[in-house]
Amino acid sequence: MKTKGAVLWGVNEDWKVEEIEVGDPVAGEVQVQLAASGLCHSDEHVRIGDIPLVEPGGFPFLGGHEGAGIVTKVGAGVEGLAEGDHIVLGFIPSCGRCPSCSSGHQNLCDNGATLLTGQSIADGSYRASVGGKNLSPMCLLGTFSPYVTVHNSSVIKIEDDIPLDKAALVGCGVTTGWGSAVYAAQTTPGDTVVVIGIGGIGINAVQGAALAGAKRIVAIDPIESKRERAMDFGATHTFASMTEAYEPLVDLTWGRGAEKAILTVGRIEGHMIQEMLTLVGKGGTGVVTAMGQADAVDVPMSLFELALLQKRLQGAVFGGGNPRYDIPKLLGLYRDGQLKLDELVTTEYKLEDINKGYSDMFEGKNLRGLVKYGPEDY
């Protein structure tokens, strides 16, 4: 079918909304009409060249990986999904059978290996194209288009009563942030948790830490409005930088430092690791969720402190969560009023305004920007 999509033709180019072709589902796939797509920072890492696309894929690239919608077509051999089902797209596929999935780590599913190649899980070919050229879709999804054809392992069925535009955010930002606090940091009641960077991911780390029973939640962001919003989501203290937070944090914790810190800045740099670990006390954990330049390896840090103060440095993809378990669970918390989703969306955009959406993100105007699709897009 002919539709439209926000396409990148090379590093540092602007997003270009143009006519694209989305193919019918082959065996194992479904087609989805999307209600909305969140504007996550990770797509911008591709745009500025931090995250390289992997051969044989490459540009042109179709962005977007935070979407939800309604199944419109079902390919052969797909079990448990039917036309009309409401679904969220997980940005990591979960096959349910590989060693990672079957040991409870769906976020590390072996199907993730091809996410940046653009090659479909079903048969290694491409399902979307622009001007006759194959498109590599972000995370094999490409939600910056009103329609996607995706593998069933990226599709999580949800209840019909959940608003789809809010559910979209749970496909990446909400679960990644919430899980970074609950699973990766293993926040327990009474902890002091520091969240560094209050965007779409960090704000959900704040609400995850609050739900897990943290006593103090220290939110750090240079932008004042982000610090104010963090208080609405459960933060107890805010600071403009890690340096500014250090002394008050020592004071607050009777000299012990935080139990947990979570790094969710827009673009991570090596020096931030030591700064984060300095805020964490003996036996504490620092979680790295943020991304930066993919081939950067320099991290100046005190190995002496790491060893003798027995600190833990923990990476986290999808917050350490399981898409098939955690997406429905978090939507259940939303339904019961225990998780905020409505308050996350600062601004809604048309797909045509996507460059404005991302420049607003960089200017710190949005907790989360959302592209919302309507009848005029279908």
Ligand X SMILES: NC(=O)c1ccc[n+]([C@@H]2O[C@H](COP(=O)([O-])OP(=O)(O)OC[C@H]3O[C@@H](n4cnc5c(N)ncnc54)[C@H](O)[C@@H]3O)[C@@H](O)[C@H]2O)c1
Among 8, 35, 36, 40, binds Zn ion (CB under 5 A): 40
Residue 104's CB: how many other CB atoms inside 10 A?
10
CA distance 180 to 186: 8
Give the integer Cα–Cα distance in Å for 172 and 184. 15
- Using the minimum distance from each CB to ligand X, give the nearer residue, 58 or 222: 222
Residue with tokens 């940046």: 116
Q: Are 161 and 182 in contact (CB under 8 A)?
A: no
Nearer to Zn ion, 101 or 209 (CB): 101
Six-digit token string for 241: 């930088």
State which residue, 119 or 192, has the beta carbon closest to Zn ion. 119
Structural contact between residues 206 and 233, judged by C-beta atoms closer than 8 angstroms:
yes
Which among Zn ion, ligand X, none contacts residue 37 (Cβ within 5 to 8 A by kind)? none
Give 125 or 241: the residue with its C-beta nearer to ligand X. Answer: 241
Chosen from ligand X, Zn ion, none, partner binding at 229 (C-beta under 5 to 8 Å by type): none
Beta strands in 9-98 (DSSP E): 16-22, 29-38, 61-62, 67-74, 86-89
Query: What x/- string results for residues 67 through 106 when contact with ligand X is judged by CB under 6 A?
Result: ----------------------------------------
Interface positions, 230-259, toward ligand X (CB under 6 A): 241
Q: How far is the CB of 197 from ligand X (least distance, A)?
A: 3
Cβ 171 vs Cβ 88: under 8 Å: yes
Q: Closer CB to ligand X, residue 25 or residue 199?
A: 199
Q: Give the footprint of Zn ion on residues 160-179 (CB under 5 A).
A: 172
**Distance between CA atoms of 307 and 309, rounded to whole angstroms?**
6
34-53 mask for ligand X (x: CB under 6 A)?
A: ------xxx--x--------
Report the DSSP beta bridge partners of residue 147.
33
| Partner from Zn ion, ligand X, none binding residue 222, C-beta < 5-8 Å depending on class | ligand X
Selected binder of ligand X within 291, 299, 306, 309 (CB under 6 A): 291
Q: Does 230 bind Zn ion (CB under 5 A)?
A: no
Estimate to the nearest angstrom the gap between the alpha carbon of 242 and the chain centroid. Answer: 23
Residue 95 contacts Zn ion per CB under 5 A: yes
